[in-house]
Structure formats: structure tokens, C-alpha cells
Amino acid sequence: MLWRKAEGLREEPKQNRVMRQLYLQAPNDLRMREIEDPIPGPGEVIVEVRGATTCGTDLKTLLRGHPKFPMPTPFGHEFSGIISALGEGVTDWEVGAEVMSAPTAPCGECHLCRRGLYNLCPTCMDGLILGAFAQKVRVPAHIVKRNLYPKPRHLDFFEAALMEPLACAVYGQQCLPVLQGKSVAIVGAGPIGLFHQMLALNQRPSHLFMIGRREPRLELAREIGADDVIDSAVETDLVEAVMSRTAGVGADVVIECTGQPQVWVESVRATAPGGQTLLFGGCKSGTQVPLPFDLMWKRHLTVFGVFHFTPEAVAEAREHLCSGRLPVEQVITDVRPMTDYHEIFEDLKAGRAVKYGIDPWN
């Protein structure tokens, strides 16, 4: 897929201009507004957004709100672009630099950060970048310091915007044992499940199952190398579907990417003795899940969740993107102008697209 290549800044870097931004007034009430250009504070930079991508979290927030994002709120957090203004004291970056960024960064100083548990830093979500579906976005100082990276010119802006969701999947797989020679089942063929598939295939598992629903997602899973694609709308019993293909043993590693309580339980039940179940898709907060502890004990299973990502995972995700060795562009169904926002999110709600690239300048 070839996206339009952008050359240089759209506007002369001046302040007090007006820009377009998508924002959520309330659940299911997405609007576009014109506001003044953001102005960088000390240590901050302004990025002219050239590529933004939609995310499962955006869709969930749109449908039912999000405890972390009180409304009205600017919308979108996956982006890349070109620096258009520098705050006081920023000396490592220049106006005109092409950049890619994660929307969060840990403090680097608390007791969890000092133990290397950067993803659990209590202030990691503070100052989260929201408003990537806009012509310009302000990157806070702590993110400039830890999770803002130069974008190589050969890397497309929309692919560069995938650094954050890919970092989530990279971090999840860093927490798993080596997958080479093992059977791996991925449950949920959304963008995150597909990223897990790409990363897992890189490690040459003996067999990779993708369990999901809705074309074109399943078609894509097939195209990018799943050995077996199971349509959960047809084969509704996930455990049976995996067991019947593994001589009743289960998959050595199951990566759950749907965030559905029932699927969490089924994923554990579909895991082979001595295996690992990674509960990757977060359930709604407060959810109680009746896990089969008898099986977990008898089969010596390791069942665990992971949250967010570390700066190390961001760096690794960037390496993957820059190297071009993962077919990440495949998850972007199409690039559409931001003015199509209504249709874009209707399509995503209906599962007609995996992920969209959003061009805020159209």
C-alpha cells in the first residue's frame, strides 16, 4: 500500500492560527471544531500531524466513555508528523523534524520505574496525549524526553503512527517465553491481535491459529500467514475449536485480545498443559471472571495479564517499523480525510474496517 508522501510543513510555523480538531462531546457525540493552534510550554513541542490512526480504545471510548477521559475531550492518540514549534529549553529537536511518538511516558523516578516496571508507573497516564485527530498536537515535556523519536524519511507517516499499538503487543510478547516450535492461538483478529500474529510468526511457532470474526479481518489473518483461521461466528465453541485441531491438548500459548470475560475463561481452557495464557484484552474495570483454577492447577498453567508498555517496548516497536520486516501497513484498511469522521467510526463500529488512517489536512 502506498500512502501519499508529504513534503515539509503545511504551514509556516507561526502561532495564533486556527486548526481543526475532532473531539468527543459525550459518548456517541463526535464533533469537529476549530480552535487556536496549541502553544508549546517549556520543554514541549508542537507536532503538525501527518498521519493519525484509529484504535480499539478510541472506539470503546466513543461508544461508552472512558474513566480516564472526562468529556468533552480531544480525540485520538496514535500519530506521527513534523515538529512545527519548540517550547522554551528544547534543544534536541528542530522545527521541520519528522517524528513519531507514544502518547504516554513514565516518570522514570518512582519506585516502580526504578524496578523497571515503567508500564506500571502511577503517573504514566498523566499528561496522556489526546487530540491526535487534529492538525496539530502538543507533546508534553516528559514525553518529549522519553518517548518522542525521529521518524526516518523512508517510513510512511501512517505506519509511523502505529508505534504505540505495536509497542503494546511487543511488550505483551516480551512477557511470554520464546514461541519458536510452539503452537500459538490468538483470540481476536482486531489490529492488536493481528500485530500479535505478526510478532509471533517472526519467532517461527510450530502452528499459529487465529480465532476471530468478521471479514476482512480473518482474510487478512490468512494473508499474513496464520496456519489456521477459525471463524468464531461459525465455530462458536472456542475451546472445542482449538482442542479438535490439537488432538485434545490445547495450544501451548494462548493470547487473548478481545477483553470479553467469557473469552478470558475459554482462553484458559484452551491452553495446553504447562502453557501460558496471556490475557491481553482488558475487561471493563470491576469485571469479575470465574477462572477455572482447578485446571490451572492440574495443568500447571501460567495465566497473566499485561498492562500498557515500557519505553523499551516502544523502542523495539520503532525498530520493527523502521526495518519494514512486519507487514504492519496491512492493518490500515484505508486512509481517509478527517472530514469523513462520521463514516469512519460507523465503519469501525460495524467491523467493516480494521483500522483507518486519518488525514487531518483533508
Question: Which residue ranges make up the site for Zn ion (CB under 5 A)?
Answer: 55, 78, 106-107, 110, 113, 121, 165
Q: To the nearest whole angstrom, how small is the minimum distance from the Cβ of residue 182 to Zn ion? A: 28
d(C-alpha 59, C-alpha 286), whole Å: 20
d(C-alpha 292, C-alpha 21), whole Å: 46
How far from chain centre, in Å, is Cα 243? Answer: 30
d(C-alpha 254, C-alpha 232), whole Å: 15
The nearer residue to Zn ion, 121 or 170, going by C-beta atoms, is: 121
d(C-alpha 341, C-alpha 31), whole Å: 8
Q: To the nearest whole angstrom, how small is the minimum distance from the Cβ of residue 35 to Zn ion? A: 23
Query: What are the contacts of 192-195 at 24+ separation with CB within 8 A?
Result: 192/56, 192/165, 192/168, 192/257, 192/280, 192/281, 193/221, 193/255, 193/257, 194/220, 194/221, 194/224, 194/330, 194/331, 194/354, 195/165, 195/166, 195/168, 195/169, 195/326, 195/328, 195/331
The nearer residue to Zn ion, 51 or 165, going by C-beta atoms, is: 165
The nearer residue to Zn ion, 17 or 284, going by C-beta atoms, is: 284
The nearer residue to Zn ion, 113 or 144, going by C-beta atoms, is: 113
d(C-alpha 178, C-alpha 336), whole Å: 38
Q: To the nearest whole angstrom, how small is the minimum distance from the Cβ of residue 165 to Zn ion? A: 5
d(C-alpha 18, C-alpha 37), whole Å: 5
Task: Report the DSSP beta bridge partners of residue 251.
Answer: 271
The nearer residue to Zn ion, 265 or 306, going by C-beta atoms, is: 306
The nearer residue to Zn ion, 6 or 110, going by C-beta atoms, is: 110
Q: To the nearest whole angstrom, how small is the minimum distance from the Cβ of residue 310 to Zn ion? A: 11
